[in-house]
């Protein structure tokens, strides 16, 4: 049984992306089916996803052998594997990319999380990966840390589409938007096109996980949604600024708000909580595969977020009164997220090393 929820969400104006990529997903035709049946119009990936796919299956064994024979190893070998998968996915989304005037139909590849606090190395790798993939609908993921922001501006200036990751608040989203527009303004000054795409990925569910045992029952699983609604208002406000309107007049497009980490972590809550509740036009929601299937089965998403953020400020105030320092928590979540990505990256490289040793 499937509902019409994915198509409803798409008609409402939100892009539904899958937060997963494996070789089996491609080889089995499952991704193509999700595109055809569930209105999936893009895809994101991260080190944890690849780690599980490589270490827990034999899908990549044959290619790893080829890569080892060719002299590849470690990080370079991983990026070769990842770009193979994401290039195939990018090709599947090319009709979406063309149909939407190059607004939608993107896939995402992350720079090494070890570079999260190294601006110049991040930019260098972002350029290299984008050139290696050679796909117009590939985003390079760069974290929105203090060190990542100038890297985002530099990458945009270089013409590399960027998915700004590890954002946890409207303030962090505003900083990402500033970096994006700075990169575009530098392109215009250099006589280059202002049409370089970006999304800003706001992580939602981790807010609720972080405070689940620190707030009254009536506030549980409401903070992530409120942060998302506040960020949506900030996003819409940014599009109406004179600064962005000047850029739009020369061909720039919006850095679209993307809701990430939208799988429900609390087993007592709805498994489509952050999909049904964060529907909004000209935004993206990227979701894990099990959340996509649940949403296709029984999701609703019939109502768009209010332009003004609805009751977000009241909910955020209630959390502040309950003792939650929202500014400090946003900073902590970003720091913890960067550390978690490094951990996943090291585990991924460890899995590749182990596989390489067995397959060599």
If one compares 23 and 301, the residue with the highest pLDDT of the two is 23
pTM: 0.96
Q: pLDDT digits over 108-161, tens only?
A: 999 999 998 889 999 999 999 999 999 999 999 999 999 999 999 999 999 999
pLDDT at position 1: 44
Q: pLDDT digits over 127-142, tens only?
A: 999 999 999 999 999 9
Strands (E), the chain: 14-19, 40-44, 107-110, 138-143, 162-167, 198-203, 256-260, 283-287
Q: pLDDT digits over 188-242, tens only?
A: 999 999 999 999 999 999 999 999 999 999 999 999 999 999 999 999 999 999 9
Q: H or E stretch including 352?
A: helix 326-359
| Average pLDDT of the residues in 307-322 | 96
141 catalytic, yes or no? yes
Sequence ranges of the domains in the chain:
5-359
- Contact between 39 and 333 under an 8 Å Cβ cutoff? The reply is no
Q: Which CATH architecture has domain 5-359?
A: Alpha-Beta Barrel (3.20)
| Selected catalytic residue, list 141, 214, 267, 343 | 141
Phi, psi dihedrals of residue 109, rounded to the nearest 5°: -125, 135
Task: With H, G, I as helix, E, B as strand and everything else as coil, classify residue 16.
Answer: strand
Q: Is 69 exposed, middle or buried (0-12, 13-18, 19+ CB in 10 A)?
A: exposed
């Amino acid at each position: 049984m499937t509902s019409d929820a994915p198509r409803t969400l798409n008609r409402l104006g939100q892009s539904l992306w899958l937060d997963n990529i494996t070789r089996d997903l491609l080889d089995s035709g499952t991704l193509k089916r999700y595109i055809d049946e569930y209105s999936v119009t893009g895809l994101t990936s991260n080190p944890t996803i690849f780690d599980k796919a490589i270490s827990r299956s034999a899908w990549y064994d044959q290619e790893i052998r080829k890569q080892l024979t060719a002299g590849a190893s470690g990080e370079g070998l991983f990026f070769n594997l990842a770009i193979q998968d994401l290039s195939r996915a990018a090709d599947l989304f090319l009709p979406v990319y063309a149909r939407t005037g190059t607004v939608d139909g993107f896939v995402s590849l992350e720079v090494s999380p070890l570079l999260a606090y190294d601006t110049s190395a991040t930019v260098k790798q972002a350029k290299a990966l984008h050139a290696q993939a050679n796909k117009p609908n590939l985003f390079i993921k760069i974290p929105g840390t203090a060190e990542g922001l100038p890297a985002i501006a530099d990458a945009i200036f270089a013409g590399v589409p960027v998915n700004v990751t590890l954002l946890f608040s409207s303030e962090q989203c505003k900083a990402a938007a500033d970096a994006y527009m700075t990169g575009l303004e530098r392109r215009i000054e250099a006589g280059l096109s202002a049409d370089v795409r970006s999304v800003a990925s706001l992580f939602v569910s981790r807010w609720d996980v972080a405070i689940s045992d620190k707030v009254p029952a009536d506030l549980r699983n409401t903070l992530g949604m409120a942060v998302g609604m506040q960020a949506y208002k900030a996003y819409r406000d940014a599009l109406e600024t004179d600064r962005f309107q000047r850029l739009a007049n020369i061909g720039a497009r919006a850095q679209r708000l993307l809701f990430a980490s939208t799988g429900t972590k609390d087993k007592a809550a709805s498994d489509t909580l952050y999909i049904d509740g964060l529907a909004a036009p000209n935004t993206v929601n990227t979701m894990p595969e099990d959340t996509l299937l649940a949403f296709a089965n029984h999701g609703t998403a019939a109502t768009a977020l209010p332009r003004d953020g609805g009751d977000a400020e009241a909910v955020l105030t209630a959390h502040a009164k309950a003792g939650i320092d929202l500014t400090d928590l946003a900073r902590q979540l970003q720091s913890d997220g960067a550390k978690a990505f490094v951990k996943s990256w090291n585990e991924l490289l460890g899995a590749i090393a182990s596989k390489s040793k067995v397959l060599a």
